[in-house]
Structure 1
């Protein structure tokens, strides 16, 4: 009976693991990696040497080690934040009114473009 309990426990763990979205990504990565490795006739240690030279001489060159090396590189990489749009300032020469915006979806700016035309409003932009 212990074997049956162990089997059922492992089967439930496997089912839970298969439901995780990360598993599908990891499987896809491994399959693609193996395809490329075979296509370009690279060994796992060759790939590891390209990815992270400091790990290349450890003697470990399995796909799992390469996957871990890629993950550690991704964790060490600085977060790239999207750059915020610069503030744009438009001054209406007819009224002296000023609009500051980061995008072109400003209600006052739209009204001006309808009234005076897009080219005219664009020329009012201050640097």
Structure 2
């Protein structure tokens, strides 16, 4: 984007934001909120209090952090049950493999050669 196009785009956004600001300045709700804040700050100054003091008076637990939503406490999980030892007996060679998982090198070779379903049928019960 050229610098001129960028300038015009920023200028257009600025004009739009200024229009929104002027519309907001004329808002009755904003005028009420400004008046409330001014009166509240004057009242706090008159009594020598801060916003923090007012919050503590209205809600003493807020300063102690008790009102905050606490993160759920992780409960201890039961240990996983140990994997069962499986024996695979290759009917073609008579070779036997004992493993607790499927990450056995020879078992992977058998599954690649004969198919997973067939090799799972070789499990000695």
Scaled to the shorter chain, the TM-score interval is 0.3 to 0.5
Larger Rg computed on CA atoms: 2
**TM-score by structure 1 length?**
0.40
**TM-score by structure 2 length?**
0.41
